[in-house]
Amino acid sequence: MMKSREYLEFREPRVPDPLESLCPGVGPFRPNAAILILRLHEGRLEILVGERHDTPGAWQWPQGGLDAGETPEQAARREASEEIGVRDIDLLYEYPFGLRYRFPERLGKKFAPRVGQEQHYFIAALFPDDPPDLAKASHEEFAELRWMPLEGAAENAIWFKRPVYECAVAHAMEVAPELDLPQA
C-alpha cells in the first residue's frame, strides 16, 4: 500500500482536473522518480549529474516516469540503469514528501494530457564495483556525467525545474549528514 504524500508545487495551480479526483495517479501530473546520487569528497557533499543531450548546459540528476505497475523505488533503480549505465544503486533515503513542477507550454504538448511531473525523490549511492558508464546506458539522456558540489547544483538545472531542484537539494543538505555516504 502506497504511503500518503504531501506534494509541494511551484506554480499557481490550474483548475483541478476531474480525472485526478476520480482516478488518483491518473491525473494531470506524470508520476516520476528522481535520484540524487551523493558522495563525500574532501569533506563536502557532491552529486552526480548529467548534461542533457537535448539541452546543452542543462544539468540534471537521473529521473523518469513510472511504468505501469512500477513503484517509485523500482523506477528509481531502472532510471539509474537506463540513464547512467549502472546495474543498481544503493537507495539510502526516500523523501517523506513529493515535489511537483509544471511543464513549459512547448514541452507540455509532448506529454499531454499531463501538465507536469510529480516527483518521488530518493538519495542514493553508487556501489564501488559499479561505476557510471554512459556507454552502458540504454537511453541517451546525457552527453556527459560529472560530480559537482551539491550546494548550488540546482543553479545548473533548466529553468522550469530549478525551484524543485532547489527544494530537493535543501532537503538533501539537511538529511545527508545522517546517511552512510561513500567517500571519493
Q: What is the mean pLDDT of the chain?
A: 88
pLDDT at 18 over 90: no
Domains and CATH numbers, the chain: 28-178 (3.90.79.10)
Give the predicted TM-score (pTM) of the model.
0.85
Q: What is the pLDDT of residues 100-158, one digit of tens each?
A: 999 888 877 777 888 899 999 999 999 999 999 999 999 999 999 999 999 999 999 99
Write down the pLDDT at residue 110. 79
pLDDT at 5 over 90: no
Write down the pLDDT at residue 105. 82
Q: What is the 3-state secondary structure (H, E, C) of the chain?
A: CCCCCEEEECCCCCCCCHHHHHCCCCCCEEEEEEEEEEEEECCEEEEEEEEECCCCCCEECCEEECCCCCCHHHHHHHHHHHHHCCCCCEEEEEEEEEEEEECCHHHHHHHCCCCEEEEEEEEEECCCCCCCCHHHCCCCCEEEEEEEECCCHHHHCCCCCHHHHHHHHHHHHHHHHHCCCCEC
